[in-house]
Amino acid sequence: MIQHLGLVPYLPTYQAMQEFTATRTADTPDALWVCEHPPVFTQGLAGHADHLLAPGDIPVVPTNRGGQVTFHGPGQVVAYPLVDLNRAGYFVKEYVYRIEEAVIRTLAHFGVTGHRVSGAPGIYVRLSDPRSHAMLAQRPKKDASQDPNFEGLGKIAALGIKVSRHCTYHGVALNVAMDLSPYLRINPCGYQGLQTVDLSTIGVSVSWQEAADVLSHKLVTYLAP
């Protein structure tokens, strides 16, 4: 069940997700909330205060999701899958993989090649040629244990989740056409100098609604049991 919430403040949405998850039963249908937020920095459980370089007038909201600090703002599609993993029949690692796959397929719909990077959740694009299908040297491999390498890459989608009683909340944010300057006030996802991009800066002109519709469809498809 997809619910389009529009432009909504972050904190009440976060609280509503917690409430939905705390009160759902084995019979509660899964949901997908799709929205955008006014400018806000959100700090994950692994977050360090020193990654907030200069938040200034943008509020900072501590959350219980995984990961570090990120930014939400208008022009970004935020999707919150509220999924019962017991009923879906897969575990957290596969859940994350499926979300990333939905983003990769969404980008492909707009002619962009999204990539995974070893050790760094989220989806990245090659800055020199966002449409190139060439595999990244930094792609996940079985023996990879080194620190993430973002050379030549920009982050276009951030991922942060929480699982409570086998049910998911929080989710994924895809940058479409937004003011990217607030990312300069933080170390995005805890990585100093990590460049953040959106579809518009890599030459893809698409409306927020079209991007939201495609991402929603891909998430419903790839998160299906």
For tokens 């942060």, name the residue: 160
Burial class of residue 159 in the structure, from the number of CB atoms within 10 Å of its CB (0-12 exposed, 13-18 middle, 19+ buried)? buried
For tokens 């909340």, name the residue: 169
For the question of residue 35 being annotated catalytic, the response is no
**Both tokens assigned to 88:** 């879906």
Among residues 178, 189, 214, 223, the one annotated as catalytic is: 189
What region, left, alpha or beta, does residue 111 occupy, with left being phi > 0 and alpha being psi -120 to 50 degrees? left
**Both tokens assigned to 210:** 């079209």
d(CA 18, CA 10): 13
Q: From start to end of 127-206, where are the E strands?
A: 153-164, 167-175
> Is residue 175 helix, strand or coil?
strand
Just list the catalytic residues.
189
